[in-house]
């Protein structure tokens, strides 16, 4: 590994070298400013007096590293990041410039909010939006630009980004968890952090082949493509040997990520051919969000350098696994305790059980919100397929923990080796080793020893939405428990008796959400229905959750979103869904008219030409022309010595028939796409996309894929699945 001057450096020296982190702050800031900045980072309000000093130190550091520009780096509701670069130059007398960066430039920026999705939050006469420094995340260098993590909001203060609600939800869960910890006598804890580790799945394919497919370039997924002879059925890719070219990509990627202080840790091949995964070491939720956004961006950039294309779409190829982003989530104190780790004392265990209950209740009460948080046109292709969690929420706890909960609920003995009675606050829980809890890979929300793993999020989406939901809804359960227990204690009741009763009540009320079996099975579908767990199959079914009264209530109560902010999020998500499907439909139409039908015509022309020549030479009888089945091979009945039905004639006839069907499906798709696009009500439009456009797309694809199967490769305008997946 080499630094900028080409000198060899070790990974520890390189790690975080492009981040204005704690070391640099300490080194470059006056002690008092440093202390005040640390306080701000720990959640206290920003002290404006320190901004100039921090800005100057950041600028000096950045310039030493070769930077010329700065940008407020933010996360609008497009789900990707945005930046607008300004140089540091400042003209002075005599035609000279100096490099300058003022506190006010660090703290606040202005941007045109009308160019970003806002879901009706912006009135046309006031389109201004602002970015404000988020001191809790470190500034970093990217492409010679100092990037300052910021939040983004409208003139009237409404949030327009994915970061602000996350910060608010982290505050909400901190507040409620501290109340609970206090009840258990943990006076030394000052702050509770959400920890998140996001496992990122992706595909790598040849860049040259990628550019040959309009669907991949424009929509990120293949809209046509016949199934290859070999898919993933041999199960030879998962954890398989990594190809040298991919290995080089991963090494390069690691280096880029490490320089940015992103702790990339595990890399391996995934289930599908050409599919891979990267998992970082977990960190605090806000940093993990930034890190994951950067990771996705850098994956694409590094892939380009290696003549590869990195696909982050949830379902780039039909018939083989899609990509997800497992969101590992836990709570941790500033004293270093993971609150989802069963403790060493009865009191710690009681606390663990209560927090566990809070998550169980939250997932049960707000299944619809969790489902909505991962809803997108692309993720709809994945959820419910036999590869990803179903569209129904449930939780996996493992046999051991479930048994313990059942015993508590029943107030019975828990027979396990030396453990006779399981009583909250009296007994020590067994540790739940990863390998006994992590067996079930089909569950959407699994307890994996000391954290929960939410497996529904899509590979290309921001983890902000799901984490905002989890933080908020768990904060709500904890708030209810704290209200109840604080009251009981103040009335002089026995804490442990009340606690045990509460835990028992929660288990009884919410155990329907626990399911340890195979979530992909047909039995589970029936069982889930029996338990009354909703199956929100598509985005259009899922998004109204943003507007449900109970959900508006929980968000406003914890100051995460106002009602109008929720309405705007609903609109933006539904609009994005419609736009995505519209774009896909138009791309299909374009590909079919401009490339697929002409390509097949060219093949048919050549086939028929051959057939005609064969005929003019008297090589054949014409009875082959009515299709493959009608081919009358070697019948000899025509009286011609060498009579046979030529495959050219038969195939040309078959393809011509398929072309006619394709054309019909194409006209139908045009019609329904235009009809859906003309609708002004966003919910109706979404429904039309789902019920009419998507089926019409599927119908067109079916005919086109049938033609692909019969067309010689040199005529087909696109690389086949086999070429895309196996020739990396």
Site residues for Mg ion per CB under 5 A:
199, 326
Question: How many other CB atoms are there within 10 angstroms of residue 333's CB atom?
Answer: 18
213 binds, among Mg ion, ligand ADP, none (CB under 5 to 8 A by kind): none
Query: Which residue has 């904060």 as its token pair?
Result: 475
Cβ(176)–Cβ(478) below 8 Å: yes
The CB-of-277 to Mg ion minimum distance in angstroms stands at 9
β pairing state of 325-333 and 452-454: antiparallel
Name which of 199 and 648 has its Cβ closer to ligand ADP.
Answer: 199
**40, 78, 136, 338: which one binds ligand ADP (CB under 6 A):** 338
| 451 makes contact with ligand ADP (CB under 6 A) | yes
Q: Which is nearer to ligand ADP, 277 or 571 (CB)?
A: 277
CB of 341 to ligand ADP, least distance (A): 8
Token couple for 50: 């320190």
Tally the residues of the chain. 728
The region, left, alpha or beta by phi > 0 then psi within -120 to 50, assigned to residue 458 is beta
Within 8 A by CB and 6+ apart from 15, the residues are 258, 259, 261
User: Least separation, in Å, of the C-beta of 285 and ligand ADP?
Assistant: 9
Q: What totals of helices (H) and strands (E) does the chain contain, helices first?
A: 26, 20
When CB distances are held under 5 to 8 angstroms depending on the partner's kind, the choice from Mg ion, ligand ADP, none that residue 450 binds is ligand ADP
For position 381 contacting ligand ADP by CB under 6 A, the verdict is no
The one among 161, 199, 364, 632 contacting ligand ADP by CB under 6 A = 199
Binding flag, residue 262, ligand ADP (CB under 6 A): no
Query: Closest-CB residue for ligand ADP?
Result: 197
Positions 311 through 330 that interact with ligand ADP (CB under 6 A): 326, 328-330
Q: How many residues of this chain bind ligand ADP (CB under 6 A)?
A: 18
User: Cβ distance 513 to 395 under 8 Å?
Assistant: yes
> Among residues 281 and 421, whose Cβ is nearest to ligand ADP?
281
Least distance (Å) from ligand ADP to the CB of residue 18?
A: 21
Least gap, CB of 440 to ligand ADP (angstroms): 11
Indicate the residue among 387 and 565 with the shorter CB distance to Mg ion.
Answer: 387
Give least dist CB 129 to ligand ADP, A. 32
Please name the helix (run of DSSP H) or strand (run of DSSP E) that holds residue 328, with its range, or none: strand 325-333
Name which position in 282, 317, 445, 570 contacts ligand ADP (CB under 6 A): 282
Q: At what angle do helices 464-490 and 346-365 cross, to 10 degrees?
A: 120
Binding partner selected for residue 451 from ligand ADP, Mg ion, none, CB under the kind-specific 5 to 8 Å limit? ligand ADP
What does the CA dihedral 606, 609, 610, 616 come to, rounded to 10 degrees?
180
Could you give the CA distance from residue 317 to residue 381 in angstroms, rounded to a whole number? Answer: 10
Our finding on whether 281 is near ligand ADP (CB under 6 A) is yes
Element (H, E) at 147: strand 145-154
641, burial (CB in 10 Å: exposed 0-12, middle 13-18, buried 19+): exposed
Backbone phi, psi, residue 124, to 5°: -60, -30
Q: Pick one of 115, 123, 266, 564: the residue that binds ligand ADP (CB under 6 A).
A: 266
Kindly indicate which of the ranges 106-114, 277-285, 297-305, 497-505 contains the residues binding ligand ADP, using the contact rule CB under 6 A.
277-285
- In whole angstroms, the minimum distance from the beta carbon of 561 to ligand ADP comes to 24
Query: How many other CB atoms sit within 10 Å of the CB of residue 341?
Result: 17
Distance set, CA 134 to CA 93, 141, 171, 172 (Å) = 34, 16, 14, 17
What part of residues 429-448 is at the interface with ligand ADP (CB under 6 A)? Answer: 438
Q: How far is the CB of 417 from ligand ADP (least distance, A)?
A: 27
CB of 166 to Mg ion, least distance (A): 21
Of the candidate residues 106, 137, 196, 408, the single one contacting ligand ADP (CB under 6 A): 196
| 8 A C-beta contact, residue 324 and residue 459 | yes
Q: Could you tell which of Mg ion, ligand ADP, none binds residue 722, using a CB distance below 5 to 8 A set by kind? A: none
Burial of 439 (0-12, 13-18, 19+ CB in 10 A): middle
Report the distance separating Cα 263 and Cα 604, nearest Å.
55
Tell me which residue has its CB nearest to Mg ion: 326
For tokens 């909001």, name the residue.
Answer: 153
Residue 16: contacted member of Mg ion, ligand ADP, none (CB under 5 to 8 Å, by partner type)? none
C-beta of residue 425 within 8 angstroms of C-beta of residue 485: no
Rg (CA), the chain: 30
- The only residue of 279, 357, 488, 554 in contact with ligand ADP, by rule CB under 6 A: 279
* Closer residue to ligand ADP in complex, CB, 152/445: 445
Binding site for ligand ADP (CB under 6 A): 195-197, 199, 266, 279-282, 326, 328-330, 338, 438, 450-451, 453
């Amino acid at each position: 590994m080499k630094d900028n001057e080409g000198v060899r450096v070790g990974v520890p020296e390189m790690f975080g070298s492009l981040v204005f982190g704690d070391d640099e702050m300490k080194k470059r800031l006056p002690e008092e400013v440093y202390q005040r900045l640390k306080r701000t980072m720990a959640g206290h309000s920003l002290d404006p007096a320190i901004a100039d000093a921090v800005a100057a130190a950041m600028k000096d550091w950045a310039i030493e590293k070769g930077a010329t520009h700065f940008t407020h780096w933010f996360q609008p509701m497009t789900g990707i990041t945005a930046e607008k670069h300004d140089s540091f130059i400042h003209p002075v007398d005599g035609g000279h410039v100096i490099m300058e960066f003022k506190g006010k430039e660090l703290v606040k920026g202005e941007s045109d909010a009308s160019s970003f999705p806002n879901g009706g939050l912006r009135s046309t006469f006031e389109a201004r939006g602002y970015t404000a420094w988020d001191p809790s995340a470190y500034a970093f260098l990217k492409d010679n630009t100092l990037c300052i993590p910021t939040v983004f909001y409208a003139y009237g203060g409404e949030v327009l980004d994915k970061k602000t609600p996350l910060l608010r939800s982290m505050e909400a869960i901190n507040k409620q968890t501290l109340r609970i910890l206090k009840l258990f006598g943990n006076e030394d804890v000052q702050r509770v952090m959400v920890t998140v580790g996001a496992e990122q799945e992706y595909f790598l394919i040849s860049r040259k082949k990628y550019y040959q497919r309009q669907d991949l370039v424009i929509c990120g997924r293949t809209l046509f493509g016949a199934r290859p002879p070999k898919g993933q059925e041999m199960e030879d890719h998962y954890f398989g040997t990594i190809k040298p070219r991919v290995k080089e990509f991963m090494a390069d990627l690691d280096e880029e990520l490490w320089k940015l202080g992103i702790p990339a840790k595990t890399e391996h091949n995934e289930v599908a051919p050409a599919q891979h995964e990267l998992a970082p070491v977990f960190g605090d939720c806000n940093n993990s969000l930034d890190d994951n956004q950067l990771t996705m961006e850098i994956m694409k950039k590094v892939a380009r350098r290696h003549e590869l294309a990195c696909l982050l779409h949830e379902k780039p190829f039909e018939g083989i696994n899609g990509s997800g982003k497992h969101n590992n989530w836990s709570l941790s104190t500033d004293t270093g305790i993971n609150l989802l780790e069963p403790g060493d004392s009865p009191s710690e265990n009681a606390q663990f059980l209560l927090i566990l209950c809070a998550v169980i209740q939250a997932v049960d009460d707000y299944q619809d919100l969790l489902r909505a948080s991962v809803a997108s046109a692309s993720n709809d292709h994945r959820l419910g397929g036999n590869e990803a969690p179903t569209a129904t929420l449930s939780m996996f706890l493992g046999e051991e923990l479930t048994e313990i909960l059942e015993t508590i609920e029943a107030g019975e003995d828990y027979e396990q080796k030396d453990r006779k009675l399981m009583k909250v606050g009296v007994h020590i829980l067994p540790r739940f080793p990863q390998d006994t809890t992590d067996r079930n890979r089909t569950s959407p929300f699994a307890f994996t020893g000391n954290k929960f793993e939410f497996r529904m999020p899509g590979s290309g989406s921001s983890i902000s939405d799901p984490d905002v939901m989890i933080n908020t809804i768990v904060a709500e359960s904890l708030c209810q428990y704290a209200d109840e227990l604080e009251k009981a204690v103040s009335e002089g009741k026995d804490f442990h008796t009340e606690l045990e009763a509460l835990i028992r009540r929660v288990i009884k009320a919410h155990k329907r959400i626990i399911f340890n079996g195979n979530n992909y099975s047909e039995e589970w579908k029936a069982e889930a229905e029996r338990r009354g767990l909703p199956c929100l199959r598509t985005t259009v079914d899922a998004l109204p959750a943003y507007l449900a009264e109970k959900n508006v209530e929980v968000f406003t109560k914890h100051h995460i979103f106002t009602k109008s902010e929720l309405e705007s999020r609903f609109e933006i998500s539904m609009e994005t869904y419609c736009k995505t499907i519209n774009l896909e439909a138009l791309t299909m139409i374009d590909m079919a008219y401009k490339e697929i039908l002409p390509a097949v015509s060219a093949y048919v022309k050549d086939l028929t030409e051959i057939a005609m020549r064969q005929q003019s030479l008297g090589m054949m009888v014409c009875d082959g022309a009515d299709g493959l089945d009608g081919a009358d091979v070697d019948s000899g009945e025509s009286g011609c010595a060498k009579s046979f039905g030529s495959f050219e004639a038969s195939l040309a006839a078959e393809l011509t028939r398929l072309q006619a069907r394709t054309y019909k499906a194409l006209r139908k798709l045009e019609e329904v796409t235009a009809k859906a696009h003309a609708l002004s009500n966003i919910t109706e439009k979404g429904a039309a996309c789902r019920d009419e456009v998507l089926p019409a797309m599927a119908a067109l694809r079916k005919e086109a894929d049938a033609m692909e199967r019969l067309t010689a490769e040199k005529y087909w305008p696109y690389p086949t699945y086999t070429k895309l997946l196996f020739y990396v």
